[in-house]
Amino acid sequence: MTLDFHSALLTKKQYLLSELQTRGLRLLDETAGAASRRGGAGPTDHKAVTVLGTTIMAPVHTRGAKDSAYVATQPDARGVSKLMEGAEVVCEISFPPQPQFYALQTLDGIPYWKIAQLHSRDTLATTVLQTCIRYGNAATKCQFCAIGESLKAGRTIARKTPEQLAEVAAAAQRLDGVRNVVMTTGTPPTPDRGATVLAECAVAIKRATGLPIQGQCEPPVDFAAFAQMRDAGIDALGMHLEAWDEEVRARIMPGKAEVPRTFYLEAFAAAVAVFGRGQVSTYLLAGLGDTIESLHEAARVLIDLGVYPFIVPFVPVTGTPLAGRPPPGADFMRAVLAPVGEWLAAAGMTSDTVKAGCVKCAACTSLSSFEQRQPAL
């Protein structure tokens, strides 16, 4: 493994996780581990892989992954593969197995895997409403999003009921040791932006499992929705800016950008007052156009507010307008993430203090690996 000047102070783990998440992983055996979903919301075109003790979602079906220098050999009888870079063996890696709850179905015949998916090792994730007011129109849809694709392909259902989610969550907890739940939603045409639907589902999941839950939606018009979500059993909240620079937001997600950043900041402050510091987070997709400086400004403002900036490398997803856009370079990601990890640690807002959701799971970015100072390579 060759290390450049910027990465000289990184640990092997920090280096490798950021390499794999930006360059992708080529699989010699595509059936290794749990089935990966192509297209759709969340970490699509990815597979969960455990590297040096940390499980991440690595792109495996993207264009970049097919040309990646990193190759996983066929797993042996223990499910362990070798991670190769050219002729060099980098380390051993493994793939979490297919969850057992995927084999079950509801009484009316809907497979559980169409209702919720296992992300990483122990996070159950669902998109409660698989439709979005912004998606059907090229003038408003987010250019990176594929929420309608998995629905079109019959890999999920349009709306998951509280009863279905409670049933699947209980099975995933019992059979696969799931420890927290993420519920996201496409944006409905209502001023609550989906908060009520999330709250109804949270009541049912909490009653059935007691698991910690993160809800994710656009900022509701009335911030009273935050207390309603918390009272329903939602422990952490995500409201996703996706990009910081208003020009980037308007270009990449013209519909969502009609809600200005200033409104998000007001919503963050109100949500932190309800859920607590660090329990509110926002996705920022690095690689959409924000500079390193812009993402650092975002992180400073957000951490000051008590919001965790979940900075994730943008991954071009098949079937979206941005499918051909290259992902950010690994050096860019490391330059962004290294200081942010230190700021989060200094603020006491590390991923392990979060109750549920993407920040807790931490598989879509190597940011949490930068929260601790580790001995350099």
* Chain positions contacting ligand SF4, by CB under 6 A: 42-43, 57, 119-120, 123, 125, 182, 358, 361, 363-364
Q: How far is the CB of 54 from ligand SF4 (least distance, A)?
A: 12
Q: Which is nearer to ligand SF4, 123 or 164 (CB)?
A: 123
Closest to 90 (Cα-Cα) out of 6, 16, 23 = 16
Q: How far is the CB of 364 from ligand SF4 (least distance, A)?
A: 3
154/142 Cα distance (integer angstroms): 21
Helix, strand, or coil (residue 10): coil
C-beta of 312 vs 338, nearer to ligand SF4: 312
Structure tokens, 275: 């859920």
Give just the sign of the alpha carbon dihedral 119, 120, 121, 123.
negative
Find the shortest distance in angstroms from Cβ 17 to ligand SF4: 13
- Distance from the first to the final alpha carbon of the chain: 11
**Smallest separation (angstroms) from ligand SF4 to the CB of 253:** 18
Question: Contact 326/315 with Cβ under 8 angstroms?
Answer: no
Output 340 or 361, the one with its CB closest to ligand SF4.
361
Which residue number, 44 or 228, has a Cβ lying nearer to ligand SF4?
44
Which residue, 164 or 281, is less far from ligand SF4 as judged by CB? 281
CB of 353 to ligand SF4, least distance (A): 16
Minimal distance, residue 314 CB to ligand SF4, in Å? 13
- Cβ-based nearer residue to ligand SF4, 178 or 204: 178
User: Which residues, 6+ apart, have CB-to-CB distance to 16 below 8 Å?
Assistant: 1, 51, 52, 90, 91
Distance CA 32, CA 342 (A): 35
Query: Under a CB-based contact definition with an 8 Å cutoff, are residues 327 and 85 in contact?
Result: no
- Which amino acid type is present at position 194? G
